[in-house]
Structure 1
Amino acid sequence: MPTFAPYLLGHQPPLAWESQWLKWPDFWLHSDRTATAEALHEAWERAETERVEIACNGGFGRNGTALTCLAVLDGVPNGEAVTYIRERYSRWAVQMLY
C-alpha cells in the first residue's frame, strides 16, 4: 500500500491512505496550479524513501503528465521529458490538448 497518493481526478475519490485529491477533469487542465505543483513535488520527495502512488482514471493522460513533471524534477531535461515517459511508461502517456 502506498504511504502517499496524489489523485488526479474530476471527482473526489474514496481515500484509504494519506492522499491528496487534485481536481483535474479528464481532457482538461488541473484546477489549481499551485496545489498540483506542491503535491507533485511532495510525491517526488517522498518517493525517495516511501511508496507513492499517482493515479487518474485511465492511467495515461493525466498520469503521464504528472510522471513527466516528476521526471523533470528528477533531472530529465524539459524538452526530453515527454519522450522519456512515453518510452519508459506508455507510448500513450501525456494528455495532449489541441
Structure 2
Amino acid sequence: MPTNKAAAVDALREAWTRAEVERVEIACGGGIGRTGTALACLAVIDGLPNHEAVDYIRQQYSPRAVETPWQRRFVSRFK
C-alpha cells in the first residue's frame, strides 16, 4: 500500500486526466494486486461507486485483481 496516500491519490488523478490525451500505463511486479487496485481507483474517479469497483475490475481485467484486504479497503475509501 502507498506510504503516502495523498501522493498516490494525486498520481492516480493525474493518470486519469492524462489518459484523455495520451497513453498511460499502470503496472506493478505481478500486474494483479497493485495494478488492480490502481485500476479500481481509476474506475472510481470515472464515476463507478467504490463498492462496485473491485468486482468491476475483477470482471474486466483479472479475477485475481485487488488481492489483499488492505487493497480492497484502499479502494473502498478512495476519494
Aligned length: 70
User: What pairs up with 1:1-98 in 2 under 5 angstroms?
Assistant: 29-97=1-69
**4+ runs deviating over 6 angstroms:** none
Of structures 1 and 2, the one with the larger relative CO (CA 8 A, separation 6+) is 2
More strand by percentage:
1
Task: State the Cα distance separating 1:31 from its structure 2 match.
Answer: 1.0
Which runs of 5 or more structure 2 residues have no equivalent in the other structure? 71-79
Structure 1 length as normaliser, TM-score?
Answer: 0.68
Q: What is the RMSD of the two structures over their aligned residues, measured on CA atoms?
A: 1.1
Flag the structure with larger Rg.
1
SS in 2 for 1:55: coil
Q: Distance in 2 between matches of 1:59 and 1:96?
A: 14
Which runs of 5 or more structure 1 residues have no equivalent in the other structure? 1-28
